[in-house]
Structure 1
């Protein structure tokens, strides 16, 4: 791991894409020049990166790993409209933003940051797996925000103040009916029935809105 804070640069991106570029070239019989728009995966973890930058040409990118850097702001992702998997865990992010162009995103990992509120995720209608463990999220209103994610299958929020509350599990199960896994635990039928009974009136009121 680089010991000094650094910015993304061309050499870093070339190094990170070399193996895939060689594989693409081999499949094409060594006759194709590979450019950034051909790359589908990019792993830039453990590099002390300060800022997301220089990714505008990676239009075919499906998977982006920026795990364990020094990133404070989610930005520079607008052209990555084919992205389905994004890992920004173990950074210094304080606010969820800059995701509006990622309409195909299915997996988002924001664990181990400094996020206190779930917001600015309305465009992520294909999101099925959301990991936001070990942040600063306190209120159950943040769980309600996720009701707009109609395909949400897995939620991982352990390590937030909200997950220590007595109502957290039943509330999450009740208001996120498509959820199958909560904090790495399969939601069984007994929990689902208990949650539905406990919040029956609130669910009815929500359905009328």
Structure 2
């Protein structure tokens, strides 16, 4: 009887210890699943960037700075360790690559001036590292009403290294370019000499002065 009682007490003690470890803050795996991978701002911006760039590019989210830069040759061991430690703790919100080769094209950071979790002040270590590595870097302010054309123009000039033409916003009907016929070069204003020659050839139609034909 005493043996059974001792076994029950021991079992209760073991269960109590395990329960305390599960509820203790020092438990090695105190995790729960997040409801979503991206925040609402990240999701909306990612959709805009992918639409602006098209199918030839791939957009990666939350990439460590150390994953896109290397330490140059000839740098001391101490300087290498310090640089890698800092780079491992820095992240880019978005990194743009060519889809076919995964070649790095540039990096984009979201800036929230309201301070809701995004970078507000410029990180000089990140900016300096990307500039030294010749990686284009753009910081774009978070706002709800960006258009695909605005994102395309921004990334085209600063990340892709080329200007992107956007269609002007006009009211009314837009005529496609192929439907507009170019006027011949020889059509237009009649010069004074040509008017005199015409008047000399047809005296009955001649007038003291002939005005230029309108365009």
Q: Give TM-score, length-normalised by structure 2.
A: 0.23
Larger Rg: 2
Normalized per residue, the structure richer in helix is 2
TM-score by length of 1: 0.24
